Structure 1
Amino acid sequence: MLSELTFNIIMRMVAGKRYYGDDVTDEEEARQFREILKEIFENGGAGNPGDFLPILNWIGGFEKRLQRLSKRTDLFLQGLIEEHRGKAKNDDEPRNTMIDHLLSLQESQPDYYTDQIIKGFVLKYFNSLIISLFTGDSSESYVGFNF
């Protein structure tokens, strides 16, 4: 329950949305986010057995799972960026999310703030917060919140 609250707070700052609880606006998108997050937790702390016994690379499929997870995460984040880009063009009211601020920077410096860079910022933000949740370390979350 505490982790759901934490991820709702994080996603409200990043994308202005909730993915846990009764107030979810897009159930399919929330389900997709929860599945991606579950896979990240399942594979994040796991070691690759093929690092110890190379024959297991052929059998295990660990790297293929991570590649599929990477593609799903990339598509999910690109969808968030496209959604915010579309809303920014249609709305006169500025939104106060991390993605919206990065997209406004992209307008002024398009060579530096590409979609890949924006997705990297979001992933780094998640990574630092997930690490701090597991270790109880506040330095990573401090770096993430200072962004």
Structure 2
Amino acid sequence: MKIVAGKRYYGDDVSVDKEEAKQFRQIMSDVFFYGGAANPADFLPIWNWVGRGSYEKKVKTLAKRTDEFLQALIDEHKSKGKNGTTMIDHLLSLQESQPEYYTSQIIKGLILVTQNLSLSLMH
């Protein structure tokens, strides 16, 4: 996330407060956990009635937490101004010139794709 947001969330030299780093690490941990887990209701549809769709509720909650975290990052970069060199800063400058193409949803999607690509290249 150093290139994307200019912040470091892992390691000894964490560049943000401990709570924000903990929140980011928890989101990433949950993404990998639920991304690799199978939904029992996919195999046995009756499980939706018995299990009340708890897997889907947890994934929706995770999506909401991720969206809120990324929106907070975008808002923070908007309030700092235009002098940054991170990916978010560049996307926000593109958003000013082409707002119909670079919506906040697109920027959040690009952040997620970049993060997942970098994590997959490390393994």
Q: TM-score, normalised by structure 2?
A: 0.89
Indicate the residue corresponding to 2:13 in structure 1: 23
Tell me how far 1:133 sits from its aligned partner: 4.0
**Off by >4 Å, runs of 4+ in structure 1:** none
RMSD over equivalenced CA pairs, Å = 1.5
Is 1:14 the counterpart of 2:14 in the alignment?
no
AA paired with 2:64?
A: K
Structure-1-length-normalised TM-score: 0.76
Identity across the alignment (%): 62
Matched, 1:106 2:99: no
Q: Name which of structure 1's ranges 46-55 and 65-74 shifts more when overlaid on structure 2.
A: 46-55
Give CA deviations for 1:32-86 in whole Å, capped at 9, x if unaligned.
0000001011111111110100122230511111000000000000000000000
SS state of the match for residue 116, structure 1? Answer: helix
Match of 1:70 among 60, 63, 69: 63
Higher RCO, 1 or 2 (CA under 8 Å, sep at least 6)? 2
Match of 1:111, SS state, is coil
Amino acid paired to 2:75: E
The Cα offsets for residues 77-135 of structure 1, whole Å up to 9 and x where unpaired, read as 0000000000016xxxx21111000000001111111111100111111232334445x
* Mapping of residues 72-91 of structure 1, within 5 Å: 72-88=65-81
Q: Which amino acid aligns with 1:79?
A: A
Q: Which residue of 2 aligns with 1:8?
A: none
Whole-angstrom distance in 2 between the partners of 1:130 and 1:56? 33
**Cα distance in 2 between the residues matched to 1:63 and 1:75:** 18
CA distance in 2, matches of 1:65, 1:84: 29
Unaligned runs of 5+ in 2: none
- The separation in 1 between residues aligned to 2:46 and 2:99, in whole angstroms, is 45
State how far apart, in whole Å, the 2-side matches of 1:63 and 1:107 are: 36
